[in-house]
Structure 1
């Protein structure tokens, strides 16, 4: 049965896009070669933590959404949006394996006049130098003449109910002006505003700039946190004062490390081309180094606090609160909690955790004990560490119950806990 849209990749990007399309009345099929997302969706559950609720999945299915593992469905759509994951490999370069697999599956069934869109976070040049050749070679069609090709990197903020796909402007860069307009016609059905970039590279680089803007500023405030602690300065009060400036300043706040799908994925070094060498973004590389040090700094603060209260890390009962990468979400992608737990365990600490959104948490494939009663667990722990400030946490009450509380988010009332 033909559909208007195929979303390729039913992960943290593809699922919300498919949901928005179904809501807009677009006949949508979701393709993923992995059978697990198909099975979960058919059972009325989201295959990705922190994306859609079970009720949202059921509404999608009742609205006509069809998940599938059959690539044959890709040859029967007008528009195909590739949302395949592009994670960092061990060498910190972007792994385009899943994107390549998606492109080959689509190319074998690509029909003339189809619009192909790329939403994955990729290095500049990927749409033209990687995706385009795969599509053309596999289909025998020419991009820009026989089918439309454009990049529109996702700006999704998982769990954000204020800034949604509908009210967040969509940046589009097509291979040709006609490609851009075809993409704009599609996204115009989903969002209030489209922004036309000069081409795919400008659209891809927009994502790099947006993500690294946060990355660099988070690193700056993380460095300020360490310096202010050493100087006896209340950084949180400094930020409170600085954010009253009505121009030239945007507040960022420190934390135990960076996480999520965006910050770690965008490269710190732009790729080589045939004409120029690679371009290292030195400020981004330094930001990465600083942010990567934050879990170690949290461990250092934990050890110091325990020592100041006559206790050693070895044998200490440490309760970690919030193990997700962002508040009020179940998504654990690249959250610093796992590294912090691992290091504390290596030092001989007894680790427990509490998170209202995560019912089972494992470190090194071993289950970590989950606290049933938060207050009782905090009262019993030698040290409680707030890693994520979920809305359900009563931090003032927690500060009263906990023997010792380290707040890495600055969320507790002033003077109620030790802050990062």
Structure 2
């Protein structure tokens, strides 16, 4: 075997992993079915927020190469699956990309290999979906090759925690499988945390994001009745957060987005219903609350315009920030999309501005980009802060606006400022 690790899927998870492995001198092969991605990486060009072109060029100089040729996977000591697992129409995970990756590995599996699944999924996937396909050729997991699950914990745009210093949870099909996976990650990850098995490691990832999902829903629901009662929820949260134990601050917003919070808890809920026949009520209630926030923001926008003697129909609403989190270009599951659609459905003229997004078509052709930010803010009947990018001077923009609806709690008090 001439390759230390083959990483299948070169997106926001696989590429940072490849970078850290390359930094310690491992021979890294990246595999992706997207020819454009592969060609760009081999030419030293990045397509993810967290790595620059210079970062990718350094990886290539260190020996990293990307390929669309699956036969090269057979040269690897370790193979890591980092493909996406979006939601399917029935609310469960779409395992199509995972199954395709596993089929590719199975066709090139060699004795002594270590195969690790990182893609987020429901408990039991490694053992029930991945293992049978890999063993179909006669090799046995735990005897002829190692099999493990290690959930990805990449937080795009996080400038403090990355692939190296975020603890890596590892659960093996057998203890020896766990040992092999832990030894692999231990070469370039600061802390490796051993889970009892693959199911425990799979469920740990879902628990992490379900915890966040439910607590975000809690403060989102509180934002509604605090507004009706004339209570400043942001001040409430700041006061509660001074307690040095027993409380962690979560903040309301226009909805949840990204690759984890809107999706991962549904895997767990789906699995509970499918296997046990009863609902995971906390998750389903949280999903209901968070999914209705864009409509609630639309209703608040309508009320604010009414207070100003205007109708939402025919008014211009400017959305600031359409990515799912600040300071990156990632738009996956952004709440800006349903918000824009609700506004359009009610007859508003919708514009957007985002320093990281030059072409936004997710909400349809009816949304145009504001090229001159200050002029657009001054002209709009209502400006809505959807995502707080560092490029925005919030108080200055609020001061230039006719009405400023702050869904992120970032603007200072002012006559024109209205908070979620």
Distance 1:76 1:42, change over 3 A: same
The answer for the alignment partner of 1:356 in structure 2 is 355
Structure 2: gaps spanning 5 or more residues? none
Cα deviation 1:93-123 (Å, max 9, x = unaligned) = 1000000000000110011010101110010
Question: What is aligned with 2:304?
Answer: 305
Post-superposition offset of 1:178: 0.5
The total of aligned residue pairs comes to 417
Partner residue of 1:170 out of 164, 168, 171: 168
* 1:364 shift after superposition: 4.8
2:400 aligned partner:
401
In 2, Cα distance between equivalents of 1:158 and 1:184: 24
CA contact (8 A) 2:344 2:366 kept: no
Contact 1:4 1:27 (C-alpha < 8 Å) held by counterparts: yes
TM-score (norm 2): 0.96
What is the TM-score normalised by the length of structure 1? 0.96
Comparing 297-306 with 25-34, greater Cα deviation is found at 25-34
1:209 aligned to 2:207? yes
Is contact 1:360–1:367 with CA below 8 Å preserved after alignment? Answer: no
Question: Deviation digits for residues 131-166 of structure 1, max 9, x if unmatched?
Answer: 1011111x3210000000000001111111111221
Give the Å deviation of 1:366.
2.2
Which residue number corresponds to residue 57 of structure 1?
56
Q: Secondary structure at the match of 2:306?
A: helix
The aligned residue for residue 97 of structure 2 is 98
Matches within 5 A, 1:43-192: 43-48=43-48, 50-137=49-136, 139-192=137-190
Aligned to 2:388: 389
The answer as to whether partners of 2:167 and 2:192 remain within 8 angstroms in 1 is yes
Instruction: Give per-residue Cα distances to partners, 1:351-374, cap 9 Å, x unaligned.
Output: 111111111111455273222221
Q: SS state of the match for residue 56, structure 1? A: helix
Q: How many angstroms apart in 2 are the aligned matches of 1:390 and 1:104?
A: 41
Answer whether contact 1:2 1:73 (CA < 8 A) is retained: no
Indicate the RMSD between aligned Cα atoms, in angstroms: 1.6
How has the CA–CA distance of structure 1 residues 96 and 35 changed in structure 2, closer, same or farther, with 3 Å as cutoff? Answer: same
Query: What residue number does 1:31 align with?
Result: 31
CA distance in 1, matches of 2:183, 2:93: 30
Give yes or no for contact 2:272–2:279 (8 Å, CA) kept in 1: no
Matched-pair contact (CA < 8 Å) for 1:342–1:363: no
Task: Please state if 1:261 is matched with 2:238.
Answer: no
- How far residue 379 of structure 1 moved from its aligned partner, in angstroms, is 0.2
Is the Cα contact below 8 Å between 2:91 and 2:270 reproduced in 1?
no
- The DSSP-based 3-state class of the residue aligned with 1:116 is strand
